[in-house]
Structures are given as structure tokens and as C-alpha cells.
């Protein structure tokens, strides 16, 4: 079964969808099977049920029971490779 990755931003539309699409492409290039979903911050708690990783595009100070990877890295490209490696490691456990 594919790992579930949750990406969130303030509205769950533009930014999180853009990061989710980029992640789908990057993971496919590495032959990593995953379900990547984009949600708004108001629906994060329910979306994280059964998730393998959480990627917030907005700053979050709330701790979660799943690994958190920086969404800003995928938005800007800065440290993207490092964060992608962290994500793959987290969902491979």
C-alpha cells in the first residue's frame, strides 16, 4: 500500500496543490509510490489519520505524531533534495 503524505497550506488550494504536484513528480522520478493529498490547515487533523508524513507549507508550532518535512523547501527549491531524502526515509519505515 502506498504511503499517504499530507501537504497543507492556509486555504488548501494554490500553494499546497502546487507542492503536492511537485512531490508527486519528484517521488515518481525516484520510483517511490505514495498518495500525496493537499488540504487546508483547518482539515489537517482528520487528513493525518493514517498518514506517513506531514508537509506544512505554512509555519506550524503544533507537534504531530507523524514526521514533518518542510513544505517551503519544495516551494522555493532551497534544500529540496535534503527534504526529499528525509521524506523518502520517513515514509519507507
Please name the helix (run of DSSP H) or strand (run of DSSP E) that holds residue 56, with its range, or none: strand 53-56
Q: Give 54-82 pLDDT, tens digit per residue.
A: 999 977 677 788 999 999 999 999 999 99
Domain boundaries, the chain: 3-91
- For residues 18, 20, 21, 26, the Cα torsion angle rounded to the nearest 10 degrees is 120
User: Model pTM greater than 0.85?
Assistant: yes
Q: ∠ CA(68), CA(73), CA(78), 5° rounding?
A: 145
Instruction: Give, in words, the CATH class of 3-91.
Output: alpha beta
Dist CA 30 CA 93 (whole Å) = 16
pLDDT of residue 64: 83
Give residue 12's pLDDT: 62
Amino acid at each position: 500500500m502506498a504511503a499517504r503524505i499530507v501537504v497543507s497550506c492556509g486555504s488548501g488550494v494554490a500553494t499546497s496543490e502546487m507542492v503536492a504536484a511537485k512531490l508527486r513528480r519528484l517521488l515518481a522520478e525516484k520510483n517511490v509510490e505514495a498518495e500525496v493529498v493537499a488540504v487546508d490547515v483547518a482539515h489537517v487533523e482528520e487528513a493525518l489519520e493514517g498518514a506517513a508524513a506531514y508537509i506544512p507549507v505554512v509555519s506550524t508550532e503544533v507537534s504531530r505524531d507523524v514526521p514533518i518535512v518542510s513544505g517551503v523547501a519544495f516551494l522555493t527549491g532551497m534544500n529540496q533534495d535534503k527534504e526529499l531524502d528525509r521524506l523518502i526515509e520517513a515514509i519507507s519505515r
